[in-house]
Amino acid sequence: MLKHRGFPGRLAGTDFQFTIRRANPKGVTPITPRERFRDRKPADRRADTAFMQALWEHFGDQPFERGNLDAGRLSWLFQREVIPAEDPFDPASYDALLVIDVDAARQSFPDIFDGVR
């Protein structure tokens, strides 16, 4: 499992996890799309924004390996702002390649992508 050095481990001052420390010995947790409802708590929205900001700063519009990125946190963005970068895509692989859909991310997180072409 690739460890993304320099990637924040969590949202500062919270328990919102962005990375995992070690591979799961029972098997890889698959990435599955999660519905984001409009009435989500502000802390959840801040975590989504901070995670997307970290993804953008580390990877930009280039494909990246899932590695030690938390499946739960990725799932909130999966199939919207973060999409598979390979076909076939294995959602239960630490080696799976993902990429940011910049157009979708710009609509969901305009503050991060303001001025990005």
Question: What does the pLDDT look like over 74-91, one tens digit per residue?
Answer: 999 999 999 999 999 999
Tokens coding 104: 């979708």
pTM, two decimal places? 0.91
Find the mean pLDDT for residues 1-17: 90
Helix (H/G/I), strand (E/B), else coil: 82: strand
Per-residue confidence band for 73, with pLDDT thresholds at 50, 70 and 90:
very high
Burial class (CB in 10 A: 0-12, 13-18, 19+), 96: buried
- One-letter amino acid for residue 55 of the chain: L
Helices of type H across the chain: 42-59, 71-75, 102-108, 110-113
